[in-house]
Amino acid sequence: MALNVPESMDKCLYFTNRNNEDVKLLAWVYRKECPKCKKDQMGKPVDPKTGRPKSRSLEYVCPSCGYTEEKAVHEESLTLEAIYTCPHCNKEGESTTIYKRKSYKGVQAYILECQHCKEIIPITKKLKKIKKKK
């Protein structure tokens, strides 16, 4: 598949690099190009006082033309790309999935599927532990 690893986090909307006993994983989501002017990448609106993006904003804005898109619509059109070592079969692989968290064993996570053994690899929110059955 040959995924392009980002050189800078400025090009990414989401980036994580995890290396623990369960899984070795590098995942990212590239910023989307403006659908109107196709000159710049969409991003959160910038606060004029501080010069930083407004993290809780519910819209994405093109800095060139000012085109705005609602957060839910914008994030549904993005894809998460990942390079990983599968914890089940210990093979290296690459995968893509939609950029939307789903519930996996009681924890919100992005769901990847191993390209070799077809097992599920969850990317949990804030490194939360998956709940075990009693």
**pLDDT tens track for 46-66:** 898 998 988 899 999 998 888
- What is the C-alpha separation between 44 and 61, in angstroms, rounded? 6
pTM of the model: 0.84
Domain that holds residue 115: 9-127
Q: What are the helix and strand counts (H, E) for the chain?
A: 1, 9
Asked if residue 25 is part of any domain, the answer here is yes
Q: How confident is the model at residue 27 (pLDDT cuts 50, 70, 90)?
A: very high
Total domains in the chain come to 1
Q: Is residue 121 part of a domain?
A: yes
- Summarised one tens digit per residue, pLDDT across range 116-128 is 899 999 888 776 7
The alpha helices in the chain, defined as continuous H runs, are: 71-76
